[in-house]
Amino acid sequence: MKILWLFAHPDHRSLNGALKTEGLRTLEAHGHQHQLSDLYAMKWNPLVDAADYDHDPTDRLLVGEAAERAHATGHLSPDIASEQQKLAWADTLVLQFPLWWYGMPAILKGWFDRVFVKGFAFGHTDPATGRPQRYGEGPLAGKRALVVVTAGARAATLGPRGVNGDLNDLLFPLQHGTLWYTGIAVVPPLLIPSADRTTPDAYATAATCLRHRLLTLPTTDPLPFRHQNTGDYDDNLLLHPHLTPTPPTGPAAHYTTTPPPNSP
């Protein structure tokens, strides 16, 4: 594997830091190559701004357009271009972070906000059908990703009936809306629970799990997300009505009644 490892914790002496060291050591011992983006250590700037795109600040900033144009003309900020080169080199992405407010730390969210630019990560069209290549297809198809996340909560409270919601549902905007959107296949996340109370035994278990998940990453079945363009969604990109899931879990379980439909 050629792995890009994204690490988003402010302290190397943390549980996350120890697991990152263990993970990278394991990969090296098995002959895999890696590049590390240690976002805090790099002082990564997570804020999308006009300066990213060599954009005249007196002109109104249309973020998507400006980003696409800067990418096409080679005017993206060098720190963004550098991360895109790492990802282009990699066949595998590992994202490691503590779950803060049921999502990524801001520094990692801002990596996607800035690096996943139209033209680089999405925006291609199937020449035969004219349909945009998204959700299972796209410029980054063929790569794989693994999310490694620590959480203070107990594992069951991040399961299908847990008060916090199921981890895959919490990570849906990342695993489905970001990674799968660009074509990247996502294997099930590795959850290290009860992270504020890690005993030496619990650490040993977590390290063993991490080593196992890393070494089996190329052969692990990805999450079975539907493809946009193979018939499950109609021409308006709506799921065909007969494709309803069982069992009924996920965020809907945490409402007492069905919330109203979204409408302006």
Task: List the interface residues with a copy of itself, window 151-190 (CB under 8 A).
Answer: 152, 154-170, 172-174, 176-178, 188-190
Residue pointed to by tokens 């804020």:
47
DSSP 178: I
3-state secondary structure of 33: strand
Please tell me the distance from the alpha carbon of residue 156 to that of residue 164, in angstroms, as a whole number.
9
204 forms part of the interface with a copy of itself (CB under 8 A): no
Q: How far is the CB of 105 from a copy of itself (least distance, A)?
A: 6
Q: Which of 20, 109, 143, 144 binds a copy of itself (CB under 8 A)?
A: 109
Q: How far is the CB of 33 from a copy of itself (least distance, A)?
A: 26
| Region 36-65 residues binding a copy of itself, contact defined as CB under 8 A | 40, 46-50, 60-65
Please tell me the distance from the alpha carbon of residue 45 to that of residue 199, in angstroms, as a whole number.
34
Q: How far is the CB of 138 from a copy of itself (least distance, A)?
A: 13
Among 28-36, 71-79, 82-90, 254-262, which window interacts with a copy of itself (CB under 8 A)? 254-262
Q: Which of 31, 197, 200, 255 binds a copy of itself (CB under 8 A)?
A: 255
Kindly tell me which of 33 and 167 has the beta carbon lying closer to a copy of itself: 167
- For residue 54, report the phi and psi dihedrals to the nearest 5 degrees: 50, 45
Contact (Cβ atoms closer than 8 angstroms) between residue 103 and residue 193: no
197 forms part of the interface with a copy of itself (CB under 8 A): no
Residue 213 CB partners (closer than 8 Å, separation 6+): 146, 148, 187, 190, 220
| Region 117-156 residues binding a copy of itself, contact defined as CB under 8 A | 134-135, 152, 154-156
Please tell me the distance from the alpha carbon of residue 1 to that of residue 217, in angstroms, as a whole number.
9
Please tell me the distance from the alpha carbon of residue 14 to that of residue 9, in angstroms, as a whole number.
8
| Region 224-243 residues binding a copy of itself, contact defined as CB under 8 A | 224-226, 228, 232-233, 236-239, 241, 243
| Region 66-95 residues binding a copy of itself, contact defined as CB under 8 A | none
Residue 233 CB partners (closer than 8 Å, separation 6+): 226, 239, 240
Other beta carbons within 10 angstroms of residue 201's beta carbon come to 8
DSSP 213: H
Q: How far is the CB of 111 from a copy of itself (least distance, A)?
A: 8
What is the size of the binding site for a copy of itself (CB under 8 A)?
A: 101
Residue pointed to by tokens 């983006």:
37
Q: How far is the CB of 187 from a copy of itself (least distance, A)?
A: 10
